[in-house]
Amino acid sequence: MTDIISEYRIFLQLERSLSKNTVDGYLDDLNKLQKYMNGTGKSPVDASLEDLQAMIAALYEIGITPRSQARIVSGIKSFYRFLVTEKHIKADPSELLESPKTGLQLPVFLSVHEINTIISSIDLSQPEGQRNRAILETLYSCGLRVSELTGIRFHDLFLDEGFIRVEGKGRKQRLVPVSPAAVKEINLYVTTDRKRVNAKRGHEDIVFLNRRGAALTRVMIFYIIKQHTALAGIHKTVSPHTFRHSFATHLLEGGANLRAIQQMLGHAKIATTEIYTHLDRDFLRSEILEHHPRNFAL
């Protein structure tokens, strides 16, 4: 199995061009499968459909959520498709393995007022104040994934033209329009905070750096957002992805075309973007319930 796992890692990295975090997730799913199969005295290569169904049932018994189960099933299916492609096995035992029903989970999003309150909570007199303001404006203005934000380099900035180039999932690049507000904050950061940092070797072209001159990590972006959300007095669970959800929701509420939002977010399938139509319906319903005169007559 050690050689097969090594092959699989290379396949995910090179053939599928997946990010490190995604590769780690797939390998973690494989590790769960291997541990379960070791308990049966069999190798994952020798697993049957019944073995895989029993594993998913065991995950349910220990309280793993349906959404997490579905992700693990997806990882298992990916591994067995690889085994068939590379001729390690003849038949795919996961072909008929069903994912649990997860239901529709609408993402948390912030109102425009909440976004403004969080950004306004940043103290620009602090050493990283302008950097943090530029980060939050960029996340909201462009609807970026956190990994896309941390990877932005100076040669990706086309601020005079109003665009930023980002590298999304599968290393696919796209040009994203950036708002004048974000352009202003990025330019202020580049000419103030950024100039005072001595970039480490290999990080000279990275736009957003920590105080030690290295690229910011995903964890640090989470911390920055958590810190300023608390300062703003907002009690929702807010993450970098919340800014992305808010960006898409506000565009849809403002009348933007769903296909345009799909391109902005870098979604490969329109079905992924369509979740925001559900958010929009909820928004419309709440507005009607709040403002329609007949509701007050009941």
Residue 155: active-site member: no
Catalytic residue among 131, 228, 244, 245: 244
Six token digits for residue 169: 């999932």
| List 133, 145, 194, 250, catalytic entry | 145
Kindly compute the dihedral angle of the four CA atoms of residues 127, 168, 176, 173, in this order, to the nearest 10 degrees. 120
Which of 71, 241, 245, 250 is catalytic? The answer is 241
- Catalytic entry in 32, 88, 153, 169: 169
Contact 178, 152 (CB under 8 A): no
Q: Which residues are 153's β-sheet partners?
A: 206
Q: Is 285 a catalytic residue?
A: no
| CA separation, residue 275 to residues 63, 115, 122, 236 (Å) | 26, 21, 31, 20
Is 218 a known active-site residue? no
Active site residue 145: yes
Helix (H) or strand (E) holding 280: helix 275-291
Contact 45, 83 (CB under 8 A): yes
Amino acid at the residue 165 = R
CA distance 294 to 231: 39
Q: Is 244 helix (H, G, I), strand (E, B) or coil?
A: helix
| 173 phi, psi to nearest 5 deg | -95, 145
Within a 10 A sphere around the Cβ of 41, how many other Cβ atoms? 7
The three-state DSSP-derived secondary structure of 82-127 is: HHHHCCCCCCCCCCCCCCCCCCCCCCCCCCHHHHHHHHHCCCCCCC
Element (H, E) at 51: helix 49-61
> Which residues are annotated as catalytic?
145, 169, 241, 244, 267, 276
